Amino acid sequence: MSALVDLRGLEKVYTTRTGDVHALSDVDLQIEEGEFLAIVGPSGCGKTTLLKILAGLEEHSRGSAAIGGHPIAAGNGDVGMVFQKATLLPWRDILSNVLLPLSLRRRPTAADRQKALDLLRMTGLDEFSGKRPHELSGGMQQRAAICRALVHDPSLLLMDEPFGALDAMTRDILNVEVNRIWRETGTTAVLITHSISEAVFLAERVIVMSPRPGRIVDEIEIPFGKERRLDLLGEPDFAALTSRIRSHFEVSHA
């Protein structure tokens, strides 16, 4: 079976007034349909640039990038994106915010509204569908942002450090929620995170990137099955995997 995402020899170079900046170099990466992949690396290594290329928000400089066998293009409607902040529109209620990706293309149907309500119910937000974003906590806003990213049934869900601004307890709860949502929807997911423990907890495979220009320096299969519970965080095997990933960054700062 061919991979859903196929990156070959991918490079990204930014041209600036003071010279070229090489953000990514020789990235080869395949992501299978239904997989949960996490990408970690030091600040400035090109993680977010890579995610923007997958989303069609950035063009790569060299190499090839395809989703579902088709070259990635701007405005790819088959991708859902969750950003570091929920970025919900303050004048729209939560249901309208979730429906926004569809509203930008056409008038939402009754089936669309039901799909949005089903997602809100899945994330425990159905009672808040008529509330404005400021009436929800930060964690609830991010749940709504995930619903918005999934409302058009994308084949690929991209998440850029979505829980970085939340407190540790809320972040743990949402990690369990994201794991459940991923299992129930079957969506292929890619997570960018600075949290090594979050990457190991959520992903089936973790990619470690080098300092700029970003290259893949390690690929770790996570052997804990699809369902993840918080007690996993205390397991010796979990600690061993986080230690292996952390060792890359200790070497880079030696």
Whole-number pLDDT of residue 219 = 95
Alpha-carbon span 217 to 211, nearest angstrom? 10
pLDDT tens-digit readout, 33-47: 999 999 999 888 889
Q: Identify whether residues 187 and 234 lie together within a single domain.
A: yes
Alpha-carbon span 168 to 189, nearest angstrom? 22
pLDDT tens-digit readout, 101-114: 888 787 888 899 99
| Boundary-marking domain end, from 129, 153, 177 | 153
Q: How many domains does the chain have?
A: 2
pLDDT at 168 over 90: no
| Boundary-marking domain end, from 105, 124, 153 | 153
Q: Identify whether residues 72 and 172 lie together within a single domain.
A: yes
Are the C-beta atoms of 44 and 21 separated by less than 8 Å?
A: no
Whole-number pLDDT of residue 106 = 79
Whole-number pLDDT of residue 75 = 62
Q: Identify whether residues 165 and 227 lie together within a single domain.
A: yes
Whole-number pLDDT of residue 254 = 42
Q: Identify whether residues 158 and 236 lie together within a single domain.
A: yes
The angle at the Cα of 119, spanning 115 to 122, to the nearest 5 degrees, equals 140
pLDDT at 17 over 90: no
* Residue 241 counted as domain residue: yes
pLDDT at 29 over 80: yes
Whole-number pLDDT of residue 253 = 45
* Residue 131 counted as domain residue: yes
Q: Identify whether residues 161 and 246 lie together within a single domain.
A: yes
| Boundary-marking domain end, from 120, 153, 186 | 153
Alpha-carbon span 148 to 112, nearest angstrom? 12
Q: Identify whether residues 172 and 204 lie together within a single domain.
A: yes
pLDDT tens-digit readout, 83-107: 888 889 999 999 999 999 888 787 8
Q: Identify whether residues 70 and 160 lie together within a single domain.
A: yes
Which of 52-66, 85-99, 165-179 is predicted least confidently? 165-179
The number of beta carbons lying within 10 Å of the beta carbon of residue 122 is 18
Are the C-beta atoms of 155 and 78 separated by less than 8 Å?
A: yes
Whole-number pLDDT of residue 104 = 78
Q: Identify whether residues 138 and 193 lie together within a single domain.
A: no
* Residue 44 counted as domain residue: yes
Q: Identify whether residues 186 and 210 lie together within a single domain.
A: yes
Tell me the residue range of the domain where 10 lies. Answer: 5-78+154-252
pLDDT at 252 over 50: no
- What is the overall mean pLDDT for the chain? 89
Q: Identify whether residues 12 and 131 lie together within a single domain.
A: no
pLDDT at 251 over 60: no
Q: Identify whether residues 106 and 181 lie together within a single domain.
A: no
Q: Identify whether residues 100 and 208 lie together within a single domain.
A: no
* Residue 92 counted as domain residue: yes
* Residue 83 counted as domain residue: no
pLDDT tens-digit readout, 186-224: 999 999 999 999 999 999 999 999 988 899 999 999 999
* Residue 206 counted as domain residue: yes
Instruction: Look up the pTM and report it.
Output: 0.89
Are the C-beta atoms of 42 and 194 separated by less than 8 Å?
A: no
The number of beta carbons lying within 10 Å of the beta carbon of residue 169 is 9
Whole-number pLDDT of residue 103 = 83
* Residue 120 counted as domain residue: yes
213: CATH = 3.40.50.300
